[in-house]
């Protein structure tokens, strides 16, 4: 079956540091890949997505590239801010929106210190 593996953390960085959160997946066919973010006390928000190989999703300074050869979708940001502190989830689905059912990783808790 489908699965997503990501580093769980917590990951603690200083403000303005470079961020990488690794995500690898196992799936049949050609899934769509997503990064969601969950702020304390809130639901999930879609951060970015990519629907085919070599696509790059980007939003709010974050970006991730769909790498089929390495089955990866690593999240990166060049300079993190305190407001980026949250839990980040990598996910996949067959459909481009995920309504057919998203398969999530366990989540990575990111803490940014001033």
Partner 1 sequence: KAGVTQTPRYLIKTRGQQVTLSCSPISGHRSVSWYQQTPGQGLQFLFEYFSETQRNKGNFPGRFSGRQFSNSRSEMNVSTLELGDSALYLCASSLGSANNEQFFGPGTRLTVL
23 near 104, Cβ under 8 Å?
no
Residue (87 or 112) nearer to partner 1, CB: 87
Shortest CB 84 distance to partner 1, Å: 19
Closest among 103, 62, 98 to 81, alpha carbons compared: 62
Rounded distance between C-alpha atoms, residue 76 and residue 22, angstroms: 9
Confirm or reject binding of residue 106 to partner 1 (CB under 8 A).
yes
With binding defined as CB under 8 A, does residue 104 bind partner 1?
A: yes
Q: How many residues bind partner 1 (CB under 8 A)?
A: 24
**Smaller CB distance to partner 1: residue 36 or 66?**
36
Q: According to CB under 8 A, which residues from 12 to 41 bind partner 1? A: 36, 41
The CB-of-61 to partner 1 minimum distance in angstroms stands at: 20
User: Alpha-carbon distance 9 to 30, whole Å?
Assistant: 28
SS (H, E, C) 76-110: EECCCCHHHCEEEEEEEECCCCCCCCCEECCCEEE
3-state secondary structure of 85: coil
Q: Does 75 sit near partner 1 (CB under 8 A)? A: no
Q: What residues line the site for partner 1 (CB under 8 A)? A: 36, 41-46, 51, 89, 91, 94-107
């Amino acid at each position: 079956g489908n699965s997503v593996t990501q580093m769980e953390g917590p990951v603690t960085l200083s403000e303005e540091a470079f961020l990488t959160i690794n995500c690898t997946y196992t799936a049949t066919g050609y899934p769509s890949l997503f990064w969601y973010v969950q702020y304390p006390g809130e639901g999930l928000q879609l951060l970015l997505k990519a629907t085919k190989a070599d696509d790059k999703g980007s939003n709010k300074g974050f970006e991730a590239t769909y790498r089929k050869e390495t089955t990866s979708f690593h999240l990166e940001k060049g300079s993190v801010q305190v407001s980026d502190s949250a839990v980040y989830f990598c996910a996949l689905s067959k459909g481009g929106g995920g309504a057919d059912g998203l398969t999530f990783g366990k989540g990575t808790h990111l803490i940014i210190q001033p």
